[in-house]
Amino acid sequence: MFDKLTNPILFQGNLKKKPYFEGWYFKQVSADERQIVSLIPGISLNKAESHSFVQYIVVLVDENQQKITRTGYVEYPIEAFTYQNDPFQITIGSNIFTESGVSVHLKDEQITIVGSLDFGPLYPIEKSFFTPNIMGAFAYVPKMECSHGVISMNHAVRGSLLVNGKQMELTHGKGYIEKDWGSAFPREYVWIQSNHFQNPSTSVFFSEAYIPFLGSSFEGFICNLVMDNKEYRFATYRRDKCKLEKINADTVKVKLENKEACLTLEASIMQQGELKAPTNDGMHKTIKEGLSGKLRLQLELKKEKRTYTDVSVSAGIEIVEHNDSFMSAKKETN
């Protein structure tokens, strides 16, 4: 069990537990940041119907040199899903996903994606016995509605894909990998991710969500920032602070603070496409995600009395609301 917790890319579940979902998120951005593709293989298990799938989000440049976003969901029988842990590999139909690369052959009514990509060495997060993965001590709590894993904050990508017969060149680009598993996505959450900044070593992941827990609930958050090979972690389980200062359908500003530093993230969705997300009854929730969002990052180091700022125009952003109060209220979590 501990091996799985410390290595979240491995298949965490089984094919018998229901309701259950598990999904991997492989994001690749070209060197010029003009083309982006995220591939999301996974499974959905419930009493009514079980299946495997590969979702995609593709950002392309049209004839007017404007970015356009395409999303889709390709469904497969549950029998099309196979896995192995040593070495890690999952296969869904003719699509193969490993730690060292992916090979895809996806087709639906609007798009065909064919090709293979190789990954350089992955950049995992720091771990310990008490923090086996990004969930911290919550990783040991059974029956969490949704668990999260950060697999690689940053890695090199080589290869290309044919998207509707046109080449998407990703060599010299960069990748990011994370995943989720459990019974359902949170009813409301914010998710921000980018590893494309002016400082090429910088990578950040942030999530804040409504979390059911032991018959009650709380607003929890996790954030991991890597800059110049140093990791800065902010999280509920570390008793850090998180304040959502501004939030609406396509904009969010969050301030995080611990004894070492203050981090401010200001994110704006520029374009977004629809994805399917898990509920207890299956993949029936529609969410929207943008991959070409704008993100401004400011890190203030208290002891050094230094401030770093940087910007990204290739940020992944999701803002999923449950009701109007979530969108308008300012929340503070201690």
Q: Report if pTM > 0.85.
A: yes
pLDDT tens digits, residue range 2-47?
Answer: 789 999 999 999 999 899 999 999 999 999 999 999 999 999 999 9
Beta pairing, strands 282-301 & 173-182: unpaired
State the pLDDT at residue 71: 96
> For the chain, which residues score pLDDT lower than 50?
324-334
> Taking Cα atoms as reference points, which of 179, 67, 42, 161 lies closest to residue 107?
161
First-last CA distance in the chain: 30
For residue 233, what are the CA distances in angstroms to 230, 241, 265, 301?
10, 11, 14, 13
Domain coordinates in residue numbering, the chain = 2-333
Quick one: how far is CA 48 from the chain centroid? 27
State the pLDDT at residue 322: 55
CA distance 27 to 46: 27
State the pLDDT at residue 254: 97
State the pLDDT at residue 65: 82
CB 192 within 8 A of CB 317: yes
Judge residue 160's burial from the number of C-beta atoms within 10 Å of its C-beta, 0-12 exposed, 13-18 middle, 19 or more buried: middle
State the pLDDT at residue 9: 97
Residues 6+ apart with CB under 8 A from 294: 267, 268, 270, 311, 312, 313, 315
Residue 213 phi, psi dihedral angles, 5° rounding: -155, 115
CA distance 194 to 115: 24
One-letter amino acid of 238 = R
CA distance 100 to 88: 9
